[in-house]
Amino acid sequence: MRYALLGDIHGNTEALEVILGSLGEQKVDKIVCLGDVVGYGAEPAACLERIRGLGCDCIAGNHDWAAVGKLSIDCFNAYAKAAALWTREQLTQEQKDWLSALPLSLTYEHCAVAHGTFHQPEAFNYIQTVFDAQQSFEALKRMGARLGFLGHSHVPVGFFDTDPITYTLDPEIPIDEELAIIVNAGSVGQPRDENNKASYAVYDSDAKAVSIIRLDYDIDAAANKIRAAGLPEILAARLYQGK
């Protein structure tokens, strides 16, 4: 079974289309969206409809919930808050209803998925420390899974439930089924690891391996749409910087 795990699209049609165009080459059996279809970028409705059109599973991200009023934006920075308020005006009620109904996590035969963490998915916290990872490893195993995929941080990384917990930034991650592993698939539409290429993950359950795929896309087009929409300039500039 080959899974494509993609998330944090953030209204970036150019990046999303490049990623989707590569899935045929990857010969994936199942596509799973890790949340944050909307937010930041200039084409939230188009990205939402593209994901819906795939008929793939999708979980909720914090910007998805912010766009429908299920999550307070008081803790958002000024740029994220401006984008969230703008995004709300771009979506129909039917599109908001779809976002509102998205689950926080899903469990499959070979893996589980959530947006920020497994131990408290509704809080949309980040895995940034060993302590954060430990809590999510325990929750992942309670879900009956040994392999989990996340988004949210926009930084592709793999964490291993070793003693002590270890991690890798290598794009090729071997899967040991005796070991719990959490992989962040990175971001399709707004990478933050100082690599501006769109990111997603492919998991092959037979080969027992995860590959982080990075692809170039038309950043100029995506950035110019952000500017034309009147969104904060930093949301366009950061696409070039990958952070």
| CA-CA-CA-CA torsion sign (119, 120, 122, 123) | negative
pLDDT of residue 159: 96
Q: Distance (Å, rounded) from C-alpha 214 to C-alpha 218?
A: 13
pLDDT of residue 142: 93
Q: What is the pLDDT of residues 210-220, one digit of tens each?
A: 999 999 999 99
Instruction: Read off the tokens for 134.
Output: 């430990």
User: For the chain, which residues make up each domain, given as ranges?
Assistant: 2-229
* Phi, psi at 165, each rounded to 5°: -60, 135
Specify the pairing of strand 112-114 against strand 147-150: parallel
Q: What is the pLDDT of residues 162-199, one digit of tens each?
A: 999 999 999 999 999 889 999 999 999 999 999 999 99
Burial of 131 (0-12, 13-18, 19+ CB in 10 A): exposed
Q: What is the pLDDT of residues 77-90, one digit of tens each?
A: 999 999 999 999 99
pLDDT of residue 40: 97
Please indicate, yes or no, whether the overall pTM of this predicted structure exceeds 0.85. yes
Q: What is the pLDDT of residues 117-161, one digit of tens each?
A: 999 999 999 997 778 899 999 999 999 999 999 999 999 999 999
pLDDT of residue 119: 94
pLDDT of residue 177: 86
Average pLDDT of the segment spanning 200-225: 98
Distance separating the N- and C-terminal Cα atoms of the chain: 32
Strand, coil or helix: 122: helix
**Which option is the CATH number for 2-229: 3.40.190.170, 3.40.50.920, 1.10.260.40, 3.60.21.10?**
3.60.21.10
Q: What is the pLDDT of residues 37-85, one digit of tens each?
A: 999 999 999 999 999 999 999 999 999 999 999 999 998 999 999 999 9
pLDDT of residue 51: 98
